[in-house]
Amino acid sequence: MNKQTEILQAKIAAAKKGGGEPRIASQHKKGKLTARERIQILLDDNTFEEIGMLVSHRCTDFGMEKEQYLGDGVVTGYGKIHGRLVYVFSQDFTVFGGSLSETHAEKICKIMDMAMQNGAPVIGLNDSGGARIQEGVVSLGGYADIFYRNTKASGVIPQLSAIMGPCAGGAVYSPAITDFIMMVEHTSYMFVTGPNVVKTVTHEDVSSEELGGAHTHASKSGVTHFACANEVECINNIKKLLSYIPQNCEEKAPKYAYTLQNELRPKIEKLIPLNANQPYDMKEVIAELCDEESFLEVHKDYAENIVVGFARIAGRSIGIVANQPASMAGVLDINSSKKGARFTRFCDAFNIPLLVLVDVPGFLPGTDQEWNGIITNGAKLLYALCEATVPKITLITRKAYGGAYDVMNSKHIGADLNYAFPNAEIAVMGAKGAVELIFKNVIDASENPAAALEEKVTEYTDKFANPYSAASRGFIDEVIQPQVAREKLIKGFTMLENKVAQMPKRKHGNIPL
């Protein structure tokens, strides 16, 4: 072995040690993996090609020139997941707490540029204490360079963020722009200002976990789409998620081999109560409609009155947006509208067909909703579904009332196929409420108001609380028995596979944010 080879091998060995064995041991003690261990689990065996291993920082202030680590706190490169190309960066907390420097940012920007040029997803494994204070505005500029690329890549290539440790201050905005965020319970957190600043400014005493932990962001803020029990589960979830989505906006999602068999699902009819006021779990209906165990729920713990996620129907990847009668009767509110809109726009950006399952009594009334902008936020879901040009199929399982009928992918806003079960109720409002408005004077003048009310409710129900008025006008394409619903969806999505839709020429729309 010659001297030059020895020098190279020594540098490679030093780079792979990151901040050194004691800091690696400290990382493990916290229940966390190192940057390189995470990449090893994420990518297919022997596919990782590192870029920028020998990069070092350029700072000479505060004695920084005496402390150099090859790689400068982030491992970057490319590899494969399930045989498909991906780009990845993994921040190394053992080097200056994973803090972002000028060169650290340059490495991330380089692989983001390559991902855009080659049309492949980019995955960020975030574990950083924030901007490197010793570098001042240079490190802040590095963040902005990353944000700019996140925005340019949005809707062009999938961008996934896994929060594996701290993510605070300006660092939170890169993941926030990406398509999906995953967090690890008890070892990761995100916030713009930490507990100490919060206590100083607002006098609130709160822990990092309460302020910005995985459970908080999964259930209260909706910032994270997935909260995972540990890092291995988080990484495996990334791999599973990628199996539903294409490499870029020009491609379609992978289609799995599927042989058609008996597609009747008689169980569906038993899942949906005839009583329109009785709850049921829409996820059970989804399980019957989709390929076995193919449903991957997104935002599971946030705005539970709407269900969104990916699934497969006859091997084809689809996105699902569904009202959830088991939570708040499936009513639409501010949070569920935002959740549904965000997911819809992702699916549309990446050519993933949409299935919308409808059982909605309307929008949630009340001062809290009105004062916090249900009008604007409800319009987000409406806008997203109007804008979407991917194949869109709607199935009304039980009821669709008022403006929520329009919003939930009705024929009027561009749905391709609209189905309804025979017991579906499509009306401006429920029968009792409608009768109390229409026949108020008649009921009040009656000798037996209760009997008069019941008579008019029955009359209204027979005339309007069914799918046939909508079907007679072509708003519903077909009223179907529940057991054939899966069969209809398979045929419908197959028929729509090559759908082409032209939008008006414009720079971009102005969604009501």
Residues with catalytic roles: 169-170, 403-404
Task: Give the burial class of 6: count Cβ atoms within 10 A of its Cβ; 0-12 exposed, 13-18 middle, 19 or more buried.
Answer: exposed
Nearest to 162 by CA among 191, 183, 189: 183
Residues near 121 by Cβ (< 8 Å), separated by ≥ 6? 86, 87, 115, 157, 158, 159, 160, 242, 245, 247
Structure tokens at 384: 């997203």
- How far is it, in rounded angstroms, from Cα 12 to Cα 163? 27
If phi > 0 it is left, if psi is from -120 to 50 it is alpha, else beta; for residue 31 that is: left
Residues in the chain: 513
3-state secondary structure 406-454: HHCCCHHHCCCEEEECCCCEEECCCHHHHHHHHCHHHHHHCCCHHHHHH
Nearest to 161 by CA among 129, 122, 105: 122
DSSP letter at 61 equals G
- How far is it, in rounded angstroms, from Cα 117 to Cα 94? 31
Residue found by looking up tokens 């540990």 in the block: 230
